[in-house]
Amino acid sequence: MAAILAALTGALAVQLLFVLWNRRYLVELGEPSRHRGGRQEAGGRNKKEAESRVGSARARARADIPLEGYKVMPSDISILVPARNEERNIGDCLQSLLALRGRPHEILVLDDHSEDGTASIVSRIAGDPESGVKLLQGGPLPEGWMGKSHACSQLAEAASGRWLLFVDADVRLGPDALEAAAAEASLQRSGLVSGFPRQETGGWMERLVVSMMMFTILIHLPLRLVSRSDDPRFAAANGAFIFVEARSYERMGGHGAVRESLLDDMDLIRQAKLRGEPVRLARIDRVASMRMYRSPGEVWSGYRKNLFPGLGRSLPLMGFVFIVYALLYLAPPAALLGGLAAWAVSGAAPLWLGWAASAAALGMAVKTAADLSSGLPAWYGMFVPASIVLTIFIGLDSARVHYAGSGYEWKGRRYA
Nearest to 395, CA basis, from 324, 313, 327, 333: 313
Kind of pairing, strands 171-173 and 288-290? antiparallel
For each of the chain's 416 residues, which pLDDT tens digit applies?
899 999 999 999 999 999 999 999 999 999 886 556 544 443 333 333 333 333 344 544 555 666 567 899 999 999 999 999 999 999 999 999 999 998 999 999 999 999 999 999 999 999 998 889 999 999 999 998 999 999 999 999 999 999 999 999 999 999 999 999 999 999 999 999 999 999 998 899 999 999 999 999 999 999 999 988 889 999 999 999 999 999 999 999 999 999 998 889 999 999 999 999 999 999 999 999 999 998 999 999 999 988 998 888 999 999 999 999 999 999 999 999 999 999 999 988 899 999 999 999 999 999 999 999 988 999 999 999 999 999 999 999 999 999 998 777 767 676 66
pLDDT of 354 reads 94
- What's the one-letter identity of residue 85? N
18-23 long-range contacts (CB < 8 A, ≥24 apart) are 18/219, 19/218, 19/219, 19/366, 19/369, 19/370, 20/369, 22/218, 22/221, 22/222, 22/223, 22/224, 23/218, 23/369, 23/373
- Rounded to whole angstroms, the Cα distance separating 239 from 267 reads 10
**Residue 231: what are its φ and ψ, rounded to 5°?**
-70, 120
- Rounded to whole angstroms, the Cα distance separating 243 from 235 reads 15
